[in-house]
Amino acid sequence: MKHFSSLLLFSACAFLTTVTTLQGQTATVLSHSVIVATPPDATHFEKAIGNFTSTTYPSFFLGTGGTGNGYIYDTQTGKSFSVMPDNYYERSRTFTYPGDKYAGVIVGLNTSIGWLENPLNWGGSLCGGWGFQTINPNFNGHTLKLADIDGDGKLDVLASGIEYPSPRSTGFISFQNNYNSWPMGSIVPPAGDSIDVLGISGVSGGARTNIVACNSSNNSLYWYQNPGGSAARGSGWTAHLLASTVNGSQPACNEGVPLASLNVGNRDIVIVASGESDPVDAWVAGLGYFDPGSTPDNLWTFHELDSTYIDVHEIAVDTLNGTPFFTIGEQEQASSICNREGLNDHGSSYSGCRVAIFPWNGSGFNAPTLASNLGIHNQTLYQLNGVEYSNP
């Protein structure tokens, strides 16, 4: 049921724009289409995909990372609906409150995190104003993940540390109590740019409620064990060293590496890539994954996939028709083909940016399917009616 007690409504129609076509390209993977779209304003880089305007067709949420208006781009009609003024920072996630028909968006703002509430859920119009509810008024986050961390059936917000309010603050969880209540609970040690949830064999039935992050104080990867239930809201999380080095001596991670966990059937692995500020502080392994095998309490085994990957900002994972996979993209500043500044820090190894899809074959990853050479910043994956959509 809709509650209006804490909403600030923003008019949408004043910023209404239209475009005539959806420009982009389509690649086929796992017998489904993955849409790689170029929205009307390519400088918008905060993105989510969801059933914002239709239950049968996806639309995109886009924001500009600090300036301009966030808006919903309806890929079916080519119309854009402004949903809120500026102050977006980095990431956004599709969020549907139980009982709602249409999705809203969890967004990271410059100094906080909030929830954009879709007016279609209470009989309103996309032109009639989106609700906004502050989730965490004092912290923002570079990476946002939604998961039921405390096992109460409600999605909580997990965030990595970021420059506000202080350089690389600790990660945190805002727990959802009810529609209007999201108190901040557990604090995670320094988490660099990225953070994710993962399942661990023998811990809470393998539920994906534990946390993995890079502790940039020693450039080591850790997984943090969820104490379970309401205790997850406290400080009783146990740190387990996942890896301190790769290739014998290089650090297992650094502050800027993006990471993601992926369930590959009987365990979760952790995928890590060289970060967006590389090659200045490049993570030497480029792109690879850590596998716990059957002993997650011991150091995990590293598998290198491609050491030439650089300038990666986000890794997106999903499972389609039983096949786990991840997509990864190098940013537009990674080569002269897609960089206004004319840089090419790949050297002779590769001449363009890559957006690639890596499917799991049961024992490792197949050779990637190249989806684009245009470069990306953020990316998300979303399934609707059996089709996988990507929004790099």
How far is 158 from 147, CA to CA, in rounded Å? 7
Cβ(246)–Cβ(284) under 8 Å?
Answer: yes
Cβ(375)–Cβ(353) under 8 Å?
Answer: yes
How far is 125 from 156, CA to CA, in rounded Å? 27
Identity of the amino acid at 295: T
In three-state secondary structure terms, 164 is: coil
Q: Would you say residue 184 lies in a domain? A: yes
102: number of Cβ within 10 Å:
18
In three-state secondary structure terms, 276 is: coil
Tokens for 210, please give them: 């534990």
Residue 183: phi, psi to the nearest 5? Answer: -70, 145
Q: Would you say residue 231 lies in a domain? A: yes
Identity of the amino acid at 129: G
Residue 261's H or E segment, with its range, is strand 259-263
Residue 98: phi, psi to the nearest 5? Answer: -50, 130
pLDDT, tens digit, for every residue of 92-111?
899 999 999 999 999 887 77
Q: Is the peptide bond before 279 cis (omega within 30 degrees of 0)?
A: yes
- What does each of the 392 residues of the chain score in pLDDT, given as a tens digit? 344 333 333 333 333 222 222 223 333 333 333 333 444 454 555 578 889 998 888 888 877 655 556 778 887 887 877 776 556 667 889 999 999 999 999 988 777 888 989 999 999 888 767 888 889 887 777 888 999 999 999 999 998 866 555 555 578 899 999 988 998 887 776 677 889 999 999 898 899 999 999 988 889 999 999 999 999 999 889 999 999 999 778 899 988 889 999 999 889 999 999 887 655 567 888 899 999 999 999 999 999 999 888 788 889 999 988 899 999 988 765 555 555 455 555 555 555 678 889 999 999 999 998 887 767 777 778 788 777 777 65
How far is 47 from 70, CA to CA, in rounded Å? 10
Residue 91: phi, psi to the nearest 5? Answer: -115, 160
Distance of alpha carbon 43 from the chain centroid = 18
Identity of the amino acid at 392: P
Cβ(272)–Cβ(290) under 8 Å?
Answer: yes
pLDDT, tens digit, for every residue of 45-69?
557 888 999 888 888 887 765 555 6
Longest dimension (CA), the chain: 59
Q: Would you say residue 341 lies in a domain? A: no
- The total number of structural domains in the chain stands at 1
Residue 15: phi, psi to the nearest 5? Answer: -115, 15
Q: Would you say residue 281 lies in a domain? A: yes
**DSSP letter string, 87-149:** -EEEEEEEE--TT-SS-EEEEEESS-EEEEEPGGGGT--TTS-BEEEEEESS---SSEEEE-S
Q: Would you say residue 8 lies in a domain? A: no
Cβ(34)–Cβ(48) under 8 Å?
Answer: no
Give the residue numbers spanning the domain of 151.
Answer: 139-310
Identity of the amino acid at 97: Y
Q: Would you say residue 94 lies in a domain? A: no
Q: Would you say residue 112 lies in a domain? A: no
How far is 3 from 347, CA to CA, in rounded Å? 56
How far is 251 from 214, CA to CA, in rounded Å? 10
Q: Would you say residue 392 lies in a domain? A: no
